[in-house]
Amino acid sequence: MSSRRIHSMELPRKVIVGSKVLETVGKLCVEMGFKGRVLVLTGPHTYHVAGKTVLDSLAEQGLEASHILVEEASTSSVERAVEALRRVNLAIGVGGGKVIDVAKLASAKAGIPFISCPTAASHDGIASPQASIRNVEGLTSVRAQAPMAIVADIDVILKAPYRLTASGCGDILAKFTAVRDWWLAHQLRGEYYGDYAANLALMSAKLVARNSAIIGEGSEEGLRTVVEALISCGVAMSIAGSSRPCSGSEHLFSHALERVAPGKALHGERCGVGAIMMAYLHKLRWRRIREVLRRVGAPVTAAELGVSAEDVVEALTIAHQVRPERYTILGEKGLTRASAEKLARVTQVI
Ligand SMILES: [Zn+2]
């Protein structure tokens, strides 16, 4: 790419991580200069545990707040949200992955900013400019916009099932292989590679690896590490201008496995297992990744993912087709059946 290429970054203006911070969202909106109407998007459950608090805090500041429920991250949910957002000047997504994804994409389409209030630490979409939306072809990742602010309430996230946090760790450890794939694509295909974004993503993975014991205990301190690491990964994507620093061959495996065995495991859980296998191919310390996943209580085998050995082998052989433009260690032809089976066996996934 030309050296005259303009690289533009869109970053969050404010990141707040702490106890009872949802109560301050209204004040934050006023401080950031928002007036008038705000739309809060929540899930049916997250409305009760977090959405109401945000709505109350907006009302307290004299902001005219309304809310809609988001049940799924589909194109029809996005369209419905875009319609509702036409009458407001700020969107706030309060919930897990699906709500945040819909709020992110719909607000981008409506041309208004959005604030991300995650209620779980299950993947890096809570702070990234990318949204995963289900359409007729399945789940696809589309570029939306970075959140204007991120407000992560540790008290609320601590109450979410621990499995979600362990899954978030899988999504973070995936950066070890994602960054290697990015570097490979840079070397072999001349793709843009940004050292700063790559190192930011890697730092998150290293922090989680180093703190795996306290994370596994389910402590507040451990959760904070995971939340901050997820936010840093989102920022790394904003800096890179793509999901490259955070999504490589292990994500291709995760998406392929979701196609082969839909709804069996969480995104980050599949990415973690993918990272073990792709780390082997990259000659990285795959045993260390496996050990860290174990320590945080994330799956490391097909059985723990709730899928069969055959599902894993099948997913490995089709992973390179999921996103052909994304060059990774899987190459253009992918793995043969025999190589896929060998890889899964040697890394003890099957
Ligand atoms: Zn991910």
Residue 191 burial (10 A CB sphere; 0-12, 13-18, 19+): middle
Which amino acid, residue 277? M
- Cα 275 to middle of ligand 1, angstroms: 11
- Cα 323 to middle of ligand 1, angstroms: 14
Distance between CA atoms of residues 269 and 271, nearest Å: 5
84-98 in b/e burial notation, b at 16+ Cβ within 10 A?
bbeebebbbbbbbbb
- Cα 276 to middle of ligand 1, angstroms: 15
- Which candidate, 267, 246, 214, 342, places its Cα nearest to that of 98? 267
- Cα 22 to middle of ligand 1, angstroms: 25
- Cα 232 to middle of ligand 1, angstroms: 13
- Cα 182 to middle of ligand 1, angstroms: 15
Helix axes 286-296, 162-173, angle to 10 degrees: 170
Question: For 15, how many CA atoms within 13 A lie in the half-sphere containing its CB?
Answer: 15
- Cα 31 to middle of ligand 1, angstroms: 32
Residue 116 and residue 100 in contact, taking contact as beta carbons nearer than 8 Å:
yes
Distance between CA atoms of residues 172 and 94, nearest Å: 22
- Cα 123 to middle of ligand 1, angstroms: 6
- Cα 83 to middle of ligand 1, angstroms: 28
Q: pLDDT at position 17, please?
A: 96
Residue 302 and residue 311 in contact, taking contact as beta carbons nearer than 8 Å:
yes
Question: Whole-prediction pTM value?
Answer: 0.95
Backbone angles phi, psi at 201, to 5 degrees: -65, -40
- Cα 216 to middle of ligand 1, angstroms: 20
Three-state secondary structure readout of 11-40: CCCEEEEECCHHHHHHHHHHHCCCCCEEEE
Say if strands 37-42 and 91-95 run parallel, antiparallel, or are unpaired.
parallel
Q: pLDDT at position 1, please?
A: 47
Partners of residue 138 on adjacent β-strands: 135
Residue 293 is encoded by which pair of tokens? 């996943």
- Cα 271 to middle of ligand 1, angstroms: 7
CA distances from 170 to 52, 110, 141, 162 (A): 30, 33, 18, 13
Distance between CA atoms of residues 93 and 71, nearest Å: 13
- Cα 53 to middle of ligand 1, angstroms: 28
- What pLDDT tens digit does each residue of the chain (350 aa) get? 445 678 888 899 999 999 999 999 999 999 999 988 999 999 999 999 999 999 999 999 999 999 999 988 888 899 999 999 998 999 999 998 889 999 999 999 999 999 999 999 999 999 999 888 887 767 778 889 999 999 999 999 999 999 999 999 999 999 999 999 999 999 999 999 999 999 999 999 999 999 999 999 999 999 999 999 999 999 999 999 999 999 999 999 999 999 999 999 999 999 999 999 999 999 999 999 999 999 999 999 999 999 999 999 999 999 999 999 999 999 999 999 999 999 999 999 99
- Cα 171 to middle of ligand 1, angstroms: 5
Say if strands 138-143 and 130-135 run parallel, antiparallel, or are unpaired.
antiparallel
